Structure formats: structure tokens, C-alpha cells
Amino acid sequence: MKRDSHRWKWILVSPALLVLILAASGPLLIVAVYSFLSPGNMGGVAWDFSTDAWFRVFFKRDIFEPENVTLNADHLAVFQRTIWLSLQTTVICAALGFPTAWFIATRPANRRMIWLFLITVPFWTNLLIRTFAIQEMIRNTGTLNTALLWLGVIGEPIEMMYTDFAVLLGMSYVFLPLMVLPLYAAMDKLDFRLVEAGYDLYASRFQVLRHVILPLVKPGFIAGSILVFIPSIGAYVTPRVLGGGRSMMMGNLIGLQFGQGRNWPLGSALAMVLLVIVVVALVFYLRITTRETGGRDGQS
């Protein structure tokens, strides 16, 4: 099939993907193989070669007129939402993480450890519990709506559960420390005398931020973005609890195939798609962010 060969080409030209496959070869190989088999009756797989799962990732066949093939809009919508929510989460984490990391990095040295320690506190509690806590906050009869109603700010509860907003809120909260920590590490290495040099040379606060600080903490942003984006793409618990069936992400779609859907090959094919999205995004991201530093020795 045309699409398959295209995909394989991609794998061949992508050494990063090769490394990934070798490193996680076992489970990955199984998933890859499963995606080319047929679904078993009670879940599992039947050992018959089939590209049907791959076909169904992207296309739908009309039940009554099998030759009437259309794009699988449901799946594509989930892919699109997954990528879009993950990008938004990364941007939100960067926007919130930067001032947080800056705050910590500018504390006296003996206080910084305390703040870093506090940043990691949420990790002590199970993710599921924290996600349910957010649900408790934002559901129609939850803390936030009750308070706003009581204050008379709103007349009716705001519907927040099972929306993209809820998923975004949950993921930003969960992944924020993964942005703060590498950003802090980059800022810790920042020579604050360079900031002073910027001010000395007539830069405004904003110009110092844009021309001195941001370029110098860029490695922290790159690391942080990768650390947030990858788990966001594969998020399962947060969209499951806060997004429900209405705001489903790829993780949930895959989970569904292995559970109720009883279509392991389709789940496997979807998992492979997820992997490809991550790798493509990574390669693309690293290309654009390291472009100028890549050519640094070009001149003399």
C-alpha cells in the first residue's frame, strides 16, 4: 500500500527513530507486528496478516456500500485534538514555568532548594488522586462553581468538565514541574552579569529578556518543551477523567481498542501512529530550535 511505503521511508531516513526502536525494541516490535494481524474474537490477535487495522486508522468503509471509502473523521479529530492540546499544554507550561523558574533562580542560594523541593511536592501524590481533585474543583457542583455562584459572579454553573479546557488545565498542572526544572537548571547557569551588561547598554527590561535572557535559557526551554510535549501526546489518565468521551485523546482511543473495542491490531496501529507523531514532532522541533547554534563554528 502506498501509505505504508511512505511511512517506512520515513523510518529509514530517521536515525532517531531507529535508535528509539532499537532501545525499546521488544514491546515495540510486538506492537508493530500486532498492527499487521487480524483481531481475535475475544480480544487478542489472530495470526493472519492483514493491513486492515492500518486502513481503519485513517479510513472508514460504509457498512452497506463497502466500496464507499471515506476518511475516518473521528480518528483524525482525535489526532488533531491530541496534537493541539499537547502544543497548548507545552506553551502554557512554558509561559507559567518561566516566571516560576526565574523566581526560584533569583532567590538567595540557600532558599532555592526549598522552592525546588516544593515544586516536586505534587509528585508525591498519585496522579489519579490529583486528577480527581481537579475534577472536584471544576465540576458543576464543585468548589469553583459553588464559590462563584455564592459570590454572585455567575448565575449558573460554568460547564468545565469534559471540555478541552478541563484537559488542558489538568495536563498543564501535571506537567508544569517538568518545564520548571530544566528551565531552572538553565537559569542557574545564567551569568547575571550579562543581564547587567544588557541594562548598561540601554536595553529595557523587555529587551534584556528578549535579547539576553531568553537566548541564554533556550536550552532549558528546549528540554522542558520536550519533557512536557511527549507525555502530553501520550496522556491517558487526565483526558480520561477530565475529558471523558467528549474530549478524548489518542491515549484513550488506543486504550479503548484494547478494552471495549477488542481490536488489538487497530490499537497497535494507533500506538504506532502516536509514536510517529512524537518522533516527527521531535525532529522538526530540534531542527528549528538548534538551527542557528548548529552553524556556530562556520566562521573564523
Partner 1 sequence: MPDGDGQSGNEIEIEAVGKVFGQGDTAFHALSGIDLTIRTGEFFTLLGPSGCGKTTLLRVIAGFEHPTSGRLRIKGQDVVGQAPNQRLVNTVFQNYALFPHMTVAQNIGFGLKMLGRPRAEIAATTDEMMHLVKMEAMAARKPSELSGGQQQRVALARALAPRPRVLLLDEPLSALDLKLRKEMQTELKRLQVETGITFVFVTHDQEEALTMSDRLAVMNQGRILQLGSPHEIYHAPTERFVADFIGETNFLTLNVIAVQGRGADLALPGGRTIAARVAEGLTPAVGTTVSAVIRPEQARIVPQGTGELSATVEGAVFFGTDTHIHLRLSDGQPFTVRRQNNDDLADPAKGETVGLSLTPGALQVLRG
Q: Rule CB under 8 A: say whether 194 interacts with partner 1.
A: yes
Window of 45-53, 208-216, 230-238, 278-286 that interacts with partner 1 by CB under 8 A: 208-216
C-beta of 182: minimal distance to partner 1 in Å?
Answer: 18
Q: Give residue 43's region: left, alpha or beta (phi > 0; psi -120 to 50).
A: left
Q: Which of 21, 158, 216, 222 binds partner 1 (CB under 8 A)?
A: 216
Q: Rule CB under 8 A: say whether 110 interacts with partner 1.
A: no
Window of 12-20, 178-186, 196-204, 235-243 that interacts with partner 1 by CB under 8 A: 196-204
C-alpha count within 13 angstroms, C-beta hemisphere, residue 214: 10
Q: Which residues of 143-154 are buried (b: 16+ CB within 10 A; e: fewer)?
A: ebbeeebeeeee
Q: Rule CB under 8 A: say whether 211 interacts with partner 1.
A: yes
Q: Which amino acid is at 27?
A: P
C-beta of 195: minimal distance to partner 1 in Å?
Answer: 9
Q: Rule CB under 8 A: say whether 204 interacts with partner 1.
A: yes
Q: Exposed, middle or buried by CB within 10 Å (0-12, 13-18, 19+), for 140? A: middle
Q: Rule CB under 8 A: say whether 202 interacts with partner 1.
A: yes
Query: 186 or 250, CB closer to partner 1?
Result: 186
Q: Rule CB under 8 A: say whether 201 interacts with partner 1.
A: yes
Q: Which of 122, 215, 259, 294 binds partner 1 (CB under 8 A)?
A: 215
Q: Rule CB under 8 A: say whether 209 interacts with partner 1.
A: no
Window of 35-43, 127-135, 177-185, 203-211 that interacts with partner 1 by CB under 8 A: 203-211
Window of 22-30, 69-77, 82-90, 292-300 that interacts with partner 1 by CB under 8 A: 292-300
Q: Rule CB under 8 A: say whether 197 interacts with partner 1.
A: yes
Query: 108 or 155, CB closer to partner 1?
Result: 108
Window of 18-26, 81-89, 198-206, 279-287 that interacts with partner 1 by CB under 8 A: 198-206
Q: Which of 143, 199, 259, 284 binds partner 1 (CB under 8 A)?
A: 199
Residues touching partner 1, count (CB under 8 A): 21
C-beta of 205: minimal distance to partner 1 in Å?
Answer: 9
Angle at 251 between CA 40 and CA 256, to 5 degrees: 35
Q: Rule CB under 8 A: say whether 207 interacts with partner 1.
A: yes
Residues of this chain that interact with partner 1 (CB under 8 A) are: 191, 193-194, 196-204, 207, 211-212, 215-216, 293, 296, 299-300
